Structure 1
């Protein structure tokens, strides 16, 4: 499987990102968060999280097999990823290095955040994207008249 960025209006492929084996994701939950500037995304695949640049498709980092499991929850800026990291709870990670900036920010909240669906993500064009199980919902921005 190849991670991609697609123009929602035209369906045109904008960038092709990292690859993942089908076996890694077959029965795994996939979670993604997009930075507010639209330039960076972190996706958790069956084999672990991977961060990549949405403009170039370049992989920034990938979770190693011996690292704590990273479930991305929010990427409000291109610099800090908020994630659930195994026994660290809600954790702030440096996007460039994966270094833990702070951990246990809120005890036991991540299971509630990810129980029914992923966090709503917003594109730079104002579209809202929500993934729930195998379904993907896209909401157009409200237009003022």
Structure 2
């Protein structure tokens, strides 16, 4: 009977140690961190999309993107991983018009994210480039990394 108790205690101790190590290694994911990561990624991809479409003169300054993110509504803290982040992105489009788009964002525990935007504003998954070919739309869905303090 004694070896079983010893093995059980050892397994529990190892499991607790692994859980503590994993928990200690989780990056701190915050609203501010996600917003700070999302804007430059979106901006760079919007500029890339303009190039694909043959639209000149689109710069990070002309886009002027900003965002406001929320995780799951007012009763849920705006921290941590999860599929329930929503970010309202504002920018000036390639026609000089102000746009507001709702991006649904899934944030993973390793501080990476995947964001999907409104196809009515950013276009479908594929777009037609300036040579007439169907290509992937870089703004339709994209991923990035949140800089954390961990």
TM-score by length of 1: 0.26
Q: Which has the larger radius of gyration?
A: 2
Q: With CA pairs under 8 Å and 6+ residues apart, which has the higher RCO, 1 or 2?
A: 2
Relative to its length, the structure with more strand (as a share) is 1
Relative to its length, the structure with more helix (as a share) is 2
